[in-house]
Amino acid sequence: MEDSLLFQAIIYLLAAVICVPIAKKLGLSSILGYLFAGIIIGPHVLGLIGQEGQDIMHFAEFGVVMMLFLIGLELDPYKFWRMRRVIVGMGMLQLLGTVAVLFIACSIVLRWEWQVTLVISLALTLSSTAIVMQTIKEKGLTKTSMGRSSFAVLLFQDIAVIPILAILPLLADGSINNKDISESIISHMPAWVQTPIVFGTIGIVYLGGKYLIIPLLHIVAKTRLQELFTASALLLVMGVSFMMQLVGLSPALGAFIAGMVLANSEFRHELEGDIAPFKGLLLGLFFIGVGASINFTLILADPAFIIIFSTIFNSIKFFVLLAVGRIYKKSSDQNLLFSFALSQAGEFGFVILGFAVQLNLIPSVLSSQMMAVIAISMVGTPFLLLINEKWIDPFFGVKERQSKKKYDTIDEEQNDVVIAGFGNFGSTIGRLLKANGIPATVLDMDSDRVDSLRKMGFKVYYGDALRLELLKAAGCEHAKVFIAAIDNPQANLKVVEMVKKHYPHLKIFARARNRNNAFELVDIGVKDFYRENLYSAVHLGVDALVEMGQRRYTATRQGQRFIRYDEEATLRLAEKRHDKKALLMSTMEEIEIQEQLIREDLYAQLSANDHAWESADLKKEQEERL
Amino acid sequence: MPYKILILFAHPLFEESNANKVMVDNIPDSPNITFHDLYQEYPDFDIDIKREQELLVLHDIVVWHHPMYWYSCPPLLKQWIDLVLEHGWAYGRQGTALKGKLLLQALSTGGKQENYCATGADRFTIPQLMEPFCQTAKVCNMNYLPPFVVHGTHSMDEDGYRQNGELYGQMLHYLENREVELSEMSNYKYFNDYIATKMT
């Protein structure tokens, strides 16, 4: 009973559904929730699942495989070429630097064979793409300098796995003998045969993708069956993984290459959309697997070694990353974030260690210990980031910037307009104002953007607009207009509240993410809110009306009327929704309001509530007269 | 009882117009006078018809205050005329909402007064050129007064702006508080002249 697939699935899903919301509620990342879910249901706490978590890992590795497929998909050669300097430069520095330092440190302190030391150094150097990318996505850091550098370094590591795995067989000299290892079909061939086979397989994936898969997808696409396309996408990823496993290579790697091959085919976006939901779920499973696979007996057998080793290797990675960031002239807060984020070891560590065990390169006990080290470092990352966010970053970021800032506040004139948030939304506003000779003071969180904006002559303050000192430094006391355009709606709302409270004289224009966000703004007394998608959506709708045969001016007037009507409806509903006693979940609320709106649309005189330029009435009256 | 005046002001580039700036500045500060800046209210020509009709109902005298462009009004005022003066409301058998109200056009022209005659560059007089507006008012059963015109704004000095602005203010003050003798109107080409006789 307990072994049934259904039971297992229920355990996993239940653990995730319970732990992840708790983690979120506590302000932790979802990854931590998954990891703890894994630890709790794992063999060492509740023992609800798998012998040592290994089986799960095999299955859940698929999440990583799909993630790499998606990363490969996003990486069309053109983008790769544009980022080549950062990818190769930063990536190479990090990889070689970390391997060298780890190798030297381990050689001095621990008396392992040099092959073992090298394998372990290589395995630990690779950071966890899964954890870092997920974290970056969750924290909305994709567009920051830290996000871009992390992506570049991770990408280089992901690519570096290919040669690393190819080299491993050459290191093996058979001095270690492990029993009970799963064997790939090539593992008992001599090393000089294995290496060409490995490269050959990669070549097959590349050529196969180009000359077999793409034409196949064309045929599938012609059937116009969505589910068939999803099936082919899954088949593709699984097929490549299987092939890679046959030759003892990482499936993730194969998927990554396959993704890259398909990156500039026309199916890119469709494949992305089809795979993404599977990826999310399986990645969660993967994190649960990592949690479950932490072998506590092994850790407890020699806790000092594991903990000290984890700490030391994490610090080494951290400082090498810090140095790399320095070389690439990162501002210190971005650099800290970057170094903390990438300081763990990752899923490829498991892959390399596993492969090395198969090759008899490394004793299996040591390999298990190292896997525990990797798992611990993965669990630790979200905490490190939390520590950085709460204690280290504010201290650093503020200190460095303020000393600079003191100078430019004193003698410069204050601007009448303050813009908080200079992403796509805010920068458009800033440009429009600047083009009309109205200078604006900008507050932004991305220190690199701040630097480049300064060079372009904007008056920019770096930092969290939620800090009162920053608002003061930006000249809110003497400004006239405050534009709240921060990407994160919750942060934006808080800033508006702060400004309303401390600078009531300021005229506030606020960006609203969606209707719910607009309601919240109305609740705190903001009348001038701008839903970021209303206007472009109506614009598009107008063009669609024109395409359907309406005259452009008529369609435009309909669009204007619709905007006015919708703005009124938003204001009305903002008040109405408080009548409800029960506090609904926000999505439920959204749906309910959507329904209400659509119902009201039926009654509103949206079509012709005037008769401008119409002559029907006139004709009728004339006829009556005759 | 004072009369209520609605000034419908239409100028697409008001910030650059000296003459109209002074004229608007001279509008008396009175609860009976509503200044309604159409280009400020409806920058995208999306006129709120209901609101405009309500405003009209609340007033006795309507002023179309605008510069003369190509012998006509700026496009937003024409849009206003097209949209607001609805059949069945402003005209037609049941359209009596504006009946008996006075309509005055207050114009500024860059060219001098002497050009506006049969032998001048513009070949027609201002009342001739404004005939479509007069006729529009007639269809709506309104009484169209002779236009108030500020000529030659292109070659005017500060003093000229000031004088015309003050005259505009005085005229509005007169309209607010005094009855206009409709029977005398046919004697005057410009409302300026009528006011001049009343001021002395």
Q: Which chain A positions have a beta carbon within 8 Å of B86's beta carbon? A: 610-612
Look at A72-81, A501-510, B51-60 and tell me which has the smallest mean pLDDT: A72-81
- Say if B49 is an interface residue toward chain A (CB within 8 Å): yes
What ranges do the domains of chain A cover?
A: 48-396, 412-532, 533-607
Range from A259-268, A408-417, B174-183 that averages highest in pLDDT: B174-183
Tokens coding A607? 């079509």
CA-based nearest residue to A339, from A326, A353, A355: A326
Q: Which chain B positions have a beta carbon within 8 Å of A612's beta carbon? A: 49, 82-83, 86
pLDDT at residue number A407: 32
Is the Cβ–Cβ distance between B189 and B146 less than 8 Å?
A: yes
pLDDT at residue number A195: 74
pLDDT at residue number A55: 62
The dihedral through the CA atoms of B143, B146, B150, B154 has a sign that is positive
Domain of B77 in residue numbering reads as 5-199
Flag whether pLDDT at A587 surpasses 60: no
Find the mean pLDDT for residues A177-202. 63
CA-based nearest residue to A98, from A384, A250, A324: A324
Q: Which chain A positions have a beta carbon within 8 Å of B95's beta carbon? A: none
- Say if A618 is an interface residue toward chain B (CB within 8 Å): yes
Q: Which residues pair with B104 in a beta bridge?
A: B63
- Say if A564 is an interface residue toward chain B (CB within 8 Å): yes
pLDDT at residue number A182: 46
Among B46, B86, B93, select the one facing A611 at the smallest CB separation.
Answer: B86
Flag whether pLDDT at B198 surpasses 80: yes
- Say if B81 is an interface residue toward chain A (CB within 8 Å): no
Find the mean pLDDT for residues A153-178. 73
Q: What's the Cα-to-Cα distance from A515 to each of A134, A498, A520, A597, rounded to whole Å?
A: 27, 21, 9, 11
pLDDT at residue number A174: 52
- The per-residue pLDDT of chain B, averaged, comes to 93
Find the mean pLDDT for residues A175-186. 49
- How many CB atoms within 10 Å of residue A490? 11
Which of the four pLDDT bands, split at 50, 70 and 90, describes residue B126? very high
Those residues whose C-beta lies under 8 Å from the C-beta of residue A82, and which sit 6 or more positions away, are none
Find the mean pLDDT for residues A594-602. 66
pLDDT digits (tens, 9 = 90+) for A506-543: 999 999 988 888 888 988 889 899 998 899 999 999 99
Flag whether pLDDT at B71 surpasses 90: yes
Flag whether pLDDT at A403 surpasses 70: no
Flag whether pLDDT at A385 surpasses 60: yes
Q: Which chain A positions have a beta carbon within 8 Å of B46's beta carbon? A: 557, 560-561, 564
pLDDT digits (tens, 9 = 90+) for A82-96: 778 888 888 888 889
pLDDT at residue number B190: 94
Q: Which residue of B has its CA nearest to A556?
A: B46
Flag whether pLDDT at A45 surpasses 60: yes
- How many CB atoms within 10 Å of residue B20? 25
Q: Which residues pair with A507 in a beta bridge?
A: A481
DSSP A330: -
Chain A nearest-CA distance from B22, in A, is: 25
Range from A121-135, A328-342, B31-45 that averages highest in pLDDT: B31-45
Q: How big is the CA angle at A34 (ends A33 and A38), to the nearest 5 degrees?
A: 115
Distance CA A263, CA A274 (A): 14
Q: Do A617 and B49 make contact, defined as CB atoms within 8 angstroms?
A: no
pLDDT at residue number A27: 65
Among B86, B92, B93, select the one facing A610 at the smallest CB separation.
Answer: B86
pLDDT at residue number B25: 96
Classify strands B33-37 and B102-108 as parallel, antiparallel or unpaired.
Answer: unpaired
Q: What is the CATH number of the domain that holds B142?
A: 3.40.50.360
- Say if A623 is an interface residue toward chain B (CB within 8 Å): no
Look at A228-242, A307-321, B98-112 and tell me which has the smallest mean pLDDT: A228-242
pLDDT at residue number A583: 44
Residue A251 or residue A55, greater confidence:
A251
Which of the four pLDDT bands, split at 50, 70 and 90, describes residue A604? low
Question: What ipTM was assigned to the predicted interfaces of this complex?
Answer: 0.74
Range from A223-237, A367-381, A469-483, B33-47 that averages highest in pLDDT: B33-47
pLDDT at residue number A102: 87
- The per-residue pLDDT of chain A, averaged, comes to 78
Based on the structure, what is the number of domains in chain B?
Answer: 1
pLDDT at residue number B3: 94
Picking from B15, B50, B80, B86 by the largest number of A CB atoms within 10 A of its own CB, the best residue to mutate is B86
Tokens coding A205? 């994936």
A555-581 burial, b for 16+ CB within 10 Å, e for fewer? Answer: bbbbbbbbbebbeebbeebbeebeeee
pLDDT digits (tens, 9 = 90+) for A483-494: 999 988 888 998
Q: Do B92 and A610 make contact, defined as CB atoms within 8 angstroms?
A: no
Q: Which chain A positions have a beta carbon within 8 Å of B83's beta carbon? A: 610, 612
- Say if B87 is an interface residue toward chain A (CB within 8 Å): yes
Tokens coding A365? 């006990």
pLDDT at residue number A214: 79
pLDDT at residue number A399: 39
pLDDT at residue number A530: 93
Q: Do B46 and A564 make contact, defined as CB atoms within 8 angstroms?
A: yes
Q: For domain A412-532, which architecture applies?
A: 3-Layer(aba) Sandwich (3.40)
pLDDT at residue number A243: 82
Q: Do A557 and B46 make contact, defined as CB atoms within 8 angstroms?
A: yes
Q: Do B82 and A613 make contact, defined as CB atoms within 8 angstroms?
A: yes
Q: For A48-396, which CATH class?
A: mainly alpha
Instruction: Provide the whole-model pTM.
Output: 0.51
pLDDT digits (tens, 9 = 90+) for A101-115: 888 888 888 777 888
Those residues whose C-beta lies under 8 Å from the C-beta of residue B80, and which sit 6 or more positions away, are B8, B10, B38, B47, B52
pLDDT at residue number A58: 65
Tokens coding A278? 């599977």
CB pairs under 8 A between A and B: 23
Q: What percent of chain A has pLDDT over 70?
A: 81
Asked if A48-396 and A412-532 have one fold, the answer is no
pLDDT at residue number B1: 79
Look at A27-31, A382-386, B153-157, B194-198 and tell me which has the smallest mean pLDDT: A27-31
| DSSP letters for A453-498 | HHHTT-EEEES-TTSHHHHHHTTTTT-SEEEE--SSHHHHHHHHHH
pLDDT digits (tens, 9 = 90+) for B130-171: 999 999 999 999 999 999 999 999 989 999 999 999 999 999
Distance CA B11, CA B21 (A): 10
Q: Do B46 and A613 make contact, defined as CB atoms within 8 angstroms?
A: no
